[in-house]
Amino acid sequence: MRSPIHAGAVLLTAVSTVDAASRATHTLPLSAAGDVAAIPAWDVQSSAKITQDPAALSKPGAASTSSSWHHAPVSRCTVMGCLLAAGVYNDSDLFFSDNLAAIDKAQFQVPWLYRSAFSLGGLPVGGSTHYLLETNGITSRADIYINGHQVADKVTQSGAYGGHVYDVTSAVSVGGNTSGNAIVVRAYPTNYLQDFGLGFVDWNPYPPDNGTGVWRDITVRQTGPLAIEAWSVTTNGTSGPVMIKATVRNLETTGSVGVAAEAAVSRDDGSAVATAKIVSPSTPVQLAPGQTTQIVLTADVASPAVWWPRQWGEQPLYKAMLKVSSSSSSSNTTVASDTSTKSFGFRQVTATVSIGDDILFSINGRPFQVLGAGYTPDVFLRWDAARFEAHARYTLDMGLNTIRLEGKMEQPELYKIADRLGLMVLPGWECCDKWEAWSYNDDLPKPVAIWSDADYTTANASMRHEAAMQQNHPSLLGFLVGSDYWPDDRATSIYTKALADAGWQAPIVASAAKAGYPKALGPGGMKMPGPYDWVPPNYWYDITDPATVTDDARYGAAFGFGSEQGPGGGTPTRSSLERFLSAADLDDLWHAPNKGLYHMSTAVSSFHNRSIFNTALWQRYGAPASLDDYLLKTQMADYEATRAEFEGFVANWGSQGAVSADTNSSKRPATGVVYWMLNGAWPALHWALFDYYLHPAGAYYGVKAALGLESVVYDYVRRAVVLVNRSRNQTGVRTVRAELISASDGTVLANVTTDTKEKTLTATPNSSKVVLASIPGIASLKDVGLLRLTLLDGDVYANKILCRNVYWLGAGGRVDTLDWDSSSWFATPVKEYVSFQSLDKLAAANVTVTMTSATTANGTVLLLENHSSVPAVFVSLNLVDAAGNDVTPVSWSDNYITLFPHESRTVTVQDLGLVLGIAERARSTAVQVVGKNVVKATISLA
Ligand SMILES: *[C@@H]1O[C@H](CO)[C@@H](O)[C@H](O)[C@H]1NC(C)=O
Ligand SMILES: *[C@@H]1O[C@H](CO)[C@@H](O)[C@H](O)[C@H]1NC(C)=O
Ligand SMILES: *[C@@H]1O[C@H](CO)[C@@H](O)[C@H](O)[C@H]1NC(C)=O
Ligand SMILES: *[C@@H]1O[C@H](CO)[C@@H](O)[C@H](O)[C@H]1NC(C)=O
Ligand SMILES: *[C@@H]1O[C@H](CO)[C@@H](O)[C@H](O)[C@H]1NC(C)=O
């Protein structure tokens, strides 16, 4: 194995030095009722290497945690994640070329053992202290032992999302002068077709351990005799009252306990808002041993601040604190027994399924077009909050508003970050494996294990756990109980009851596809017809009449709700590629355009090679002359492709998601789309809007160009210009200007505006409308033309630009000819391609980049000037450190910019690593500039 060494902000990849402390006994900081602490570190070893049985191993001081175990100084890790954290593997090696394929998978076909020693400080609580061991899912299933006692077996503790609570009071010892405690978890191997894991389908190579292990925290909670077993906080839409519902259990084996409860609501900063009053039970309850009761409290919050998704407003958050005390009937005294706090927000999400079975979401009563992308965790399920926050900020920076989690519900922290940033989250169960193993699912690989009674039990525990974890978060857009398939009736009733019991208020969607639905839920209103591979920009607009389309052929186009679709794309730039590809792999990219590649989808997948993308690239942009030429052309192709998809959807939104005479011919408005995908689980060559090393390139800035809050969009099929306003309330006079030039010499062929003596244009929030039905001169384009659309805030004399968007168009404004009848589930072939090959012969443009003295809260302002009478095409800017390595994460106000002759633009760059407080990151010193006809230069930021 060989791996290149690079500096730079690569989160997750630091190899930890072996932490001697992880072998030590960890003191769990529990001192008051309701305190919770995670087991902070684990020793792991294969069961094949351990002769002692797990019960014996779990005795304090059991000798075997000596040097043969791997010490992972993290609270949660899959087996591979633990081995990475322990330094047994490092991911620079694993991710390089095809090194991952060489790992011995057989070692993961036996159970692995996790062990940790811990002590409990332990102050007595409420006369009778209890210790609750809480799991949040262990893949695929586990036996758990503490101090020689088995506290859970693999029948109960089953599934990656099966969270359970075990009262381990009688097994643990408390206090300084005991020999402490030890826990052993025996995690069983995972087969995606037999077990409830987190599968990757055709996304990327599977982790060698199939994600087995303690991937989420195991915590210990200290309570008195009463414990809060489950609770929810709900609002009445965007107003009060707040309702708190809790199930409380008497943990004692003898003696009844009186229950008292109180709750309070405060702002996130702690300022008090309201105290709750008990609604039920109306008289104090005595709980018999083992018995539970439900308590309901309400708090009136006067004129609450409403939570909005980022594009529509602020994200005010509130906290609800619940405290349960045990009361003694003889002495009128109460003693705190358990407490818990949840954050929440005042927002309401609803959904209707209407025209053509298309789902339309509304947030706070306003129709909300979902513009999202499919999120994946790291392939080894390693969690890094700063890294996720960079993902979330990138998502919002592109103008997207939602991430879809297909069976990858991540860690609880994800939802907190999404709440804080105003990013909507659409979680749900995953396709194509055990999670959808019902008899009518013919698409599953064999041999798959159809659900048994025990599997329904696991599904129930999983749904209850995830619902409880997510329920209170305002960022939740809904829950997809099915993906490619829909749950059977028994699973549906388990899921919907679990969600209802958890106080779930967001929509429940039957499935992400149109294949079918359970009666109890009705149609999901989402479509999943692809594409998943490259299609030309006009694909999205080529809607003859979707209301009457009878075959699936055009179903991917921009109408209805596409739950996962996109033109593939996302090739990383050279700096990232060199981190994970060998010289031979790099050569393959442009010398072997049809070859199966390890960093694409797996060998069994339709996406193992880049044939469709490359064929189009060769035809449209011309055979690459070098690796750099190939990579620049991939960025142009990606930019063009991602922009068109999102522009197609925003252009076809209509008026508040309803058909509007002003929009184009679509009779079914485009109510949402989830791009496939946002990111890669590892360094991938496709299906990502930014790469694993967090470098944003063509695909990213294509989306960003499409999704301004107010924007102008070119409809490739109708050759019309559409005005899009995605704001909540931005109105006023607007002017759209369209300028068309010949790319080769800059000759002006058209220059029109919407501002005429007869009419001015006004902006309408949450709508799209055609504002220029045609552009003169397009048909007379002899070769490649450049179309610049500008949206001005005001009349034609206004100089505030709200949006500027440049398109490269083929001769005559023609588009690629699609062969719709030959569509497959992943792409629609092209019969005849448009050619941009003459761009290879453009005269060089003289572009300068200078640092201005302007500083803004958003970073450094640079001035980009084209001094030539020819356009400067596709000029990219890259922030680098002294060694020339990429500085990531990074935020550019705009990038991959095409400048007209003598045009200048300012752009702002911000080192996001600094904003996120990432300590180990490269320091920016310079900006690299290069373009299609602009020679590479480096500008110092000093
Ligand atoms: C992972 O799951 C697949 C089935 O999806 C199975 O073929 C393979 O053997 C599993 N790997 C391990 C290490 O258990
Ligand atoms: C909930 O809000 C609606 C108005 O949105 C109001 O009519 C209703 O009375 C409220 N419910 C309660 C319990 O206050
Ligand atoms: C307009 O929307 C913004 C958020 O996008 C919000 O801050 C502002 O209060 C809104 N104004 C009105 C009048 O609703
Ligand atoms: C408990 O409080 C009630 C009301 O304050 C009082 O009437 C009763 O005597 C008290 N009982 C004891 C045992 O203190
Ligand atoms: C289009 O017309 C406007 C207004 O006259 C002018 O400012 C602009 O430079 C023209 N655009 C081009 C590309 O010539």
| Rounded Cα gap, residues 507 and 520, in angstroms | 14
| Rounded Cα gap, residues 550 and 804, in angstroms | 38
| Tokens coding 16 | 């930890």
Q: What's the rounded mean pLDDT across residues 37-47?
A: 97
Give nearest CA residue, ligand 3 atom 12.
Answer: 729
Distance 751 CA to ligand 5 centre (A): 6
| Rounded Cα gap, residues 189 and 107, in angstroms | 10
Distance 273 CA to ligand 2 centre (A): 19
Question: Which residue among 314, 726, 729 has the greatest number of ligand 3 atoms within 8 angstroms of its CB, and so is best to mutate?
Answer: 729
Strands (E), 505-585: 508-509, 560-565
Q: What letter does residue 920 receive in the DSSP assignment?
A: S
pLDDT greater at residue 612 or residue 29: 612
| Rounded Cα gap, residues 396 and 389, in angstroms | 11
Distance 463 CA to ligand 1 centre (A): 24
Distance 501 CA to ligand 5 centre (A): 62
**What residues pair up with 675 in beta bridges, in sequence order?**
373, 565
Q: What's the rounded mean pLDDT across residues 725-745?
A: 97
**What residues pair up with 910 in beta bridges, in sequence order?**
891
pLDDT greater at residue 921 or residue 738: 738
Give nearest CA residue, ligand 4 atom 8.
Answer: 332
pLDDT digits (tens, 9 = 90+) for 765-780: 999 999 999 999 999 9
Q: What letter does residue 858 receive in the DSSP assignment?
A: T
Closest-approaching ligand to the CA atom of 334: 4
Read off the pLDDT band of 303 (50, 70, 90).
very high
Read off the pLDDT band of 758 (50, 70, 90).
confident
Residue 404, pLDDT score: 98
CATH code assigned to 226-344: 2.60.40.10
| Rounded Cα gap, residues 927 and 890, in angstroms | 12
Percentage of the residues of the chain whose pLDDT score is greater than 70: 94
Q: 783 phi and psi, to 5 degrees?
A: -145, -150
Q: What letter does residue 539 receive in the DSSP assignment?
A: G
- Tell me what percent of the chain is helix, strand and coil, each rounded to the nearest 5: 20, 35, 50
CA atoms within 13 A on the CB side of 167: 18
| Total count of residues recorded for the chain | 942
Which position among 410, 436, 484, 816 bears the catalytic label?
Answer: 484
User: Using a 6 Å cutoff on CB, does residue 236 contact ligand 2?
Assistant: yes
| Rounded Cα gap, residues 439 and 383, in angstroms | 35
939 CB-contact burial (10 Å; exposed 0-12 / middle 13-18 / buried 19+): middle
User: Using a 6 Å cutoff on CB, does residue 739 contact ligand 5?
Assistant: yes
Spatial contact of 850 and 939, defined as CB atoms under 8 Å apart: yes
| AA letter at 422 | G
pLDDT digits (tens, 9 = 90+) for 545-576: 655 555 455 789 999 999 999 999 899 999 99
Residue 664, pLDDT score: 53
Strands (E), 482-627: 508-509, 560-565
Active-site residue flag, 588: no
Q: What letter does residue 188 receive in the DSSP assignment?
A: P
Percentage of the residues of the chain whose pLDDT score is greater than 90: 85
Spatial contact of 420 and 389, defined as CB atoms under 8 Å apart: no
- Dihedral sign, CA of 688, 691, 696, 697? negative
pLDDT digits (tens, 9 = 90+) for 573-604: 999 999 999 999 999 999 999 999 999 999 88
Active-site residue flag, 484: yes
- Dihedral sign, CA of 279, 281, 283, 287? negative
Spatial contact of 716 and 706, defined as CB atoms under 8 Å apart: no
| Rounded Cα gap, residues 358 and 369, in angstroms | 12
Task: For 107-122, give one letter per residue: b (16+ CB within 10 A) or e.
Answer: ebeebbbbbbbbbbeb
Distance 109 CA to ligand 1 centre (A): 8
**What residues pair up with 274 in beta bridges, in sequence order?**
265
CATH number for 847-940: choose from 2.60.40.10, 1.20.20.10, 3.40.50.720, 1.10.1130.10. Answer: 2.60.40.10
Q: What letter does residue 203 receive in the DSSP assignment?
A: S
Run of H or E residues at 791: strand 785-793
Q: Does domain 7-123+137-219 have CATH number 2.60.120.260?
A: yes
pLDDT greater at residue 9 or residue 220: 220
Read off the pLDDT band of 355 (50, 70, 90).
low
pLDDT digits (tens, 9 = 90+) for 255-301: 999 999 999 999 998 898 999 999 999 888 999 999 999 999 999 99
Closest-approaching ligand to the CA atom of 194: 1
Question: Which residue among 235, 239, 346, 347 has the greatest number of ligand 2 atoms within 8 angstroms of its CB, and so is best to mutate?
Answer: 239
User: Using a 6 Å cutoff on CB, does residue 192 contact ligand 1?
Assistant: yes
Closest-CA residue to 371 (of 280, 310, 290): 310
Residues of the chain with CATH 2.60.40.10: 226-344, 712-841, 847-940
Give nearest CA residue, ligand 5 atom 1.
Answer: 751
Spatial contact of 688 and 567, defined as CB atoms under 8 Å apart: no
Give nearest CA residue, ligand 5 atom 14.
Answer: 748
Closest-approaching ligand to the CA atom of 327: 4
Average pLDDT in the chain: 93
Q: What's the rounded mean pLDDT across residues 79-95?
A: 97
Give nearest CA residue, ligand 4 atom 6.
Answer: 332
User: Using a 6 Å cutoff on CB, does residue 241 contact ligand 2?
Assistant: yes
Strands (E), 75-111: 77-78
Q: Say whether pLDDT at 928 is over 50.
A: yes
pLDDT greater at residue 668 or residue 887: 887
Read off the pLDDT band of 661 (50, 70, 90).
low
| Rounded Cα gap, residues 628 and 751, in angstroms | 35
Residue 156, pLDDT score: 98
Read off the pLDDT band of 14 (50, 70, 90).
very low
Closest-approaching ligand to the CA atom of 899: 5
Residue 13, pLDDT score: 35
What is the architecture of the domain spanning 712-841? Answer: Sandwich (2.60)
Distance 519 CA to ligand 2 centre (A): 30
pTM attached to this predicted model: 0.96
| Rounded Cα gap, residues 101 and 110, in angstroms | 19
User: Using a 6 Å cutoff on CB, does residue 46 contact ligand 1?
Assistant: no
Closest-approaching ligand to the CA atom of 104: 1
Residues of the chain with CATH 2.60.120.260: 7-123+137-219
Residue 282, pLDDT score: 86
Residue 7, pLDDT score: 34
Give nearest CA residue, ligand 2 atom 10.
Answer: 236
What distances in angstroms separate CA 821 from CA 256, 407, 532, 828, one per listed residue? 72, 33, 17, 8
Distance 368 CA to ligand 5 centre (A): 36
Distance 244 CA to ligand 4 centre (A): 28
pLDDT digits (tens, 9 = 90+) for 394-442: 999 999 999 999 999 999 999 999 999 999 999 999 999 999 999 999 9
Closest-CA residue to 153 (of 164, 161, 144): 144
Spatial contact of 373 and 677, defined as CB atoms under 8 Å apart: yes
| Rounded Cα gap, residues 168 and 30, in angstroms | 15
| AA letter at 432 | C
Q: What's the rounded mean pLDDT across residues 503-518?
A: 96
Closest-CA residue to 715 (of 629, 650, 624, 632): 650
| AA letter at 439 | S
